[in-house]
Each structure stands twice: as structure tokens, then as C-alpha cells.
Amino acid sequence: MHVSASANSEAQRGRAMKKKLWTKDFTLITASTILSAVGGEAMSLPVSLLVFDETQSTFLSSLILVCSMLPDILLPILISPIIDKFSKKKWIVGLDILMAAIYIGMGFWLLSHPFQYGLYLVYTLAVAAISVFYNLSYCAWYPDLIPAGSEQKGYSVSATIYPTVTILMAPAATFLYEHVAMGYIFLFVGALTVLSISLEVHIREIRLAAREGYGIRQYFTDIREGFRYIRKEKGIRNIYTYMGITNGVSNGVGLITQAYYQTQAWLTVTMLGFLKSSEMIGRMMGGLVQYKKEIPVNKRYGVTKFVYTFYNAMDSLLLYMPFPFMLANRFLCGALGTTTATLRETAVQCYLPPEIRARIMAFFQVFFAVGGIAFQLLAGFLGQYLPFRPLAFGLGMFSMISMAALIFVPKNQNRPVFEAVREEPK
């Protein structure tokens, strides 16, 4: 259970900070996460390139994208009570075994069969559904593997992994696609997943008290408990609602930015690649800074408000800038975005009771999916009728207004979440 940032909690937190972050368990989960990130990047880009090359259809390519997001609409809320009640480690290991079997099976099949669009559609939907289970289990388990008091450092490590892997693996994945048969890429990712499993099985797990005879009645009771918690905890609800909006707006601005780069004579797709790389480098640098310098608990809320304001302003003005300023824009947004993501994750995971984490993370996942789909569709529709630059500006301003309403105004509801610290397990 969370506690407020009182003097006693601060003292306890100070003692906890003396513990080292890189315990055996944290090292193993970090190594496993890196392997999963490398495998995911090695797989996702070649699949998207292959589908378009084989079909030459943006519509069929978009269906693949939609299939990758559909399970996030409802499935997280339905499965989260089960994840909360049972071993997260078993979920993680079991799902990785399933994923390894899918990768290896796909690999051998593709080595002797031609491209089949329907197969990739089913594959994408299946992997997306499995990922819902996996991500919720991971998010509920990961906080237990960070020593109490080292949450910000721990989440800064996780926030740095994916940008770093993306920077390194994007060209490598393109090389693999151009020079290696798709079947062998699947087999390679399957082997990485097996290696990840060999690390995960050696991680300990803090077990919560299990309930005997868990059945359908208790399942629905647990779902209602999750809804009641969201209704009661207005700060958590405000933060998650805003994150769904701002994440969706960023996706929409990203779509409009890509269209803008493809329709302006002075811009190229290569320059767009540099723009995305600049943001990833910013995220990586932001994570490193967070690892080295901790932001005091009583400043988390203020820093978050400043960064959200800056980020929305930069999204709004992005397409009005010369290209060098666009690169600086994305670098700063990447660095500061990682800062607030780390602070938010640290605060929320300290605030949430461990026994309800997966259910609340499920709402977060749904908000992200709904926001992402809604704003991408909205941006795509409006982009057919409105100039790209004013449209991106309008989306950014909408996010700015939402931030004021959900983050700034209800400060008495939000501040306790941002200033929460975690009690050390006894």
C-alpha cells in the first residue's frame, strides 16, 4: 500500500536508497528485457516491410497495424484479475515459451512456403493478444524486482532500453530483411526468446497470499474492485486519462508529420528517419540522466507539469520550424519525455497496492490503445481536408487544454500520486 511523502517515509526511503539497484533479480530481468526488445525490433520492422512489398497496399498494411492494437481495447480489463491473483513469473515464462514456439514454427513454415497475407494477419493478431497478457504480467512483476527506494533508477533503466535498442537495431533489422530469408529471421528471434526464458526462470518472485477456490464469482468481484478503485482514486484516473489523450495526440502528430515530410519538396524520407533517430537519442540520454540524478519526491509534480507544457508546445510548433530546429525539438522532447515517463511510472507503481497493479495497469493499457486508435483515425481523416501544419498545431493545443484540465487544475488529487513512496517489503 502507498504512503504519503512524510518525514517517516523519507527516512525509510533514505535507508532503502543504500541498497544497490543491480541485484541478481534486477540484472536478470534487465538482460531478459534487452533480449526481448532486440527480438521485437528484429521482427516488427521486417514484417511491416515485407507486407507492403508483397501487397503494395497501404490499406492491407494498415490492417496489420489495426490487428496489432485490437486486443488492447478490451482484453486487458478482462484478464487483469487473473494476472493479479496468480504467479507473474509463471505467466512471463509460459508466454515466452508460447512465443518461442510461434516464432520457430513460423520460421520453419516460411522456409518452404510462399508469402501468405492471411498468415501474417493471424500471426499479428495472435502475437498482439499474447502481448497483452505478457505486458500486464511484466508491469505487475517488475516493481517487485527493484529494491525499495531505487524506483527512479530502476525505471530509468527500463526507459533507456527500448530507445537504445531501436537506434541500434533499426539499421540491423533493415539489413536482415534485405539479406536474410524471413524464415531465418523468425528462427533467430525464436532463439533469442529461448535465451530470455533461460534467464527468467532464475528470477525470484514475491508471492502474495493466494485465495483458495478462485472462481467466476470472485473473478467478477475482482473486476468490480478495479473499477471501484479507479472511481475512488481521482488522481490515478486523471493521470491515465491524460496519458491516453497525449499519447494519442503524439501518434496523430506523428502521422501528420510523416505525411508532411512526404509531400514537401524541401524534406525527404531520409530526413524523417533522422528526426525519429533524434528523438530516440534524446530518450536514451534522458534515461541516463535519470539514472545518475534523482529528482526529489516533492519536486516530481512540478517537474512533470513543466515537461508536459513544454512537450505539448513542441508538438504544436514542430512543423513550423526549420529542419535543424525540428531535430532539436525531437531530441529535447525525447529527453524530457523519458524524464516524465520515469517519474510517472515511479510514482504510480509506488502508489498502487501490489495486489491490484495488473488491474489498474489494464485500464492504462486500454486508455493508450483507445487514444492511439482514435487520434490516428482523426488525424488521418482531417489530414485529407486540412493543411498539415495547422492540423498538427491544433492537435497539440488540444493536448495542452487536456493537460490543464486533468493535471494542473486537480492538483490536490494528483500531487499525492506523484509524491508517493514505496514501503520496503518486510
Across the chain, mean pLDDT equals 86
Per the document, the length of the chain is 426
Predicted confidence at residue 82, as pLDDT, reads: 85
Q: What is the pLDDT of residues 175-184, one digit of tens each?
A: 888 888 999 9
**Least confident among 48-62, 91-105, 260-274, 294-308:** 48-62
pLDDT value at 293 more than 90: no
Taking CA atoms, 205 is separated from 29, 154, 155, 188, 279, in Å, by 12, 17, 19, 29, 35
**Least confident among 59-73, 296-310, 352-366:** 59-73
CB-side neighbour CA atoms (13 Å) of 317? 15
Q: How far apart are CA 309 and CA 33, in angstroms?
A: 31
pLDDT value at 301 more than 80: yes
Predicted confidence at residue 214, as pLDDT, reads: 65
pLDDT value at 263 more than 70: yes
Q: Does pTM surpass 0.85?
A: no
pLDDT value at 14 more than 60: no
Predicted confidence at residue 212, as pLDDT, reads: 55
Average pLDDT over residues 108-114: 93
Q: With the C-alpha atoms ordered 45, 97, 63, 373, is the resulting torsion angle positive or negative?
A: negative
Q: What is the pLDDT of residues 368-393, one digit of tens each?
A: 888 888 887 788 888 888 999 999 99
Share of the chain above pLDDT 90, in %: 42
Q: What is the pLDDT of residues 395-404, one digit of tens each?
A: 999 999 999 9
pLDDT value at 15 more than 60: no
pLDDT value at 136 more than 50: yes
pLDDT value at 9 more than 80: no
Average pLDDT over residues 315-328: 96
The band of 51, judged by pLDDT with boundaries at 50, 70 and 90, is: confident
Average pLDDT over residues 86-102: 93
Greater confidence, 410 or 208? 410
pLDDT value at 12 more than 50: no
Average pLDDT over residues 270-299: 87
Q: How far apart are CA 192 and CA 35, in angstroms?
A: 6
Predicted confidence at residue 423, as pLDDT, reads: 65
Predicted confidence at residue 211, as pLDDT, reads: 52
Q: What is the pLDDT of residues 201-238, one digit of tens each?
A: 999 876 655 555 567 888 888 888 888 998 899 999 99
Predicted confidence at residue 419, as pLDDT, reads: 92
Average pLDDT over residues 142-154: 87
pLDDT value at 4 more than 50: no
Pair 194, 36: CB distance under 8 Å: no
**Least confident among 4-8, 26-30, 215-219:** 4-8
pLDDT value at 7 more than 50: no
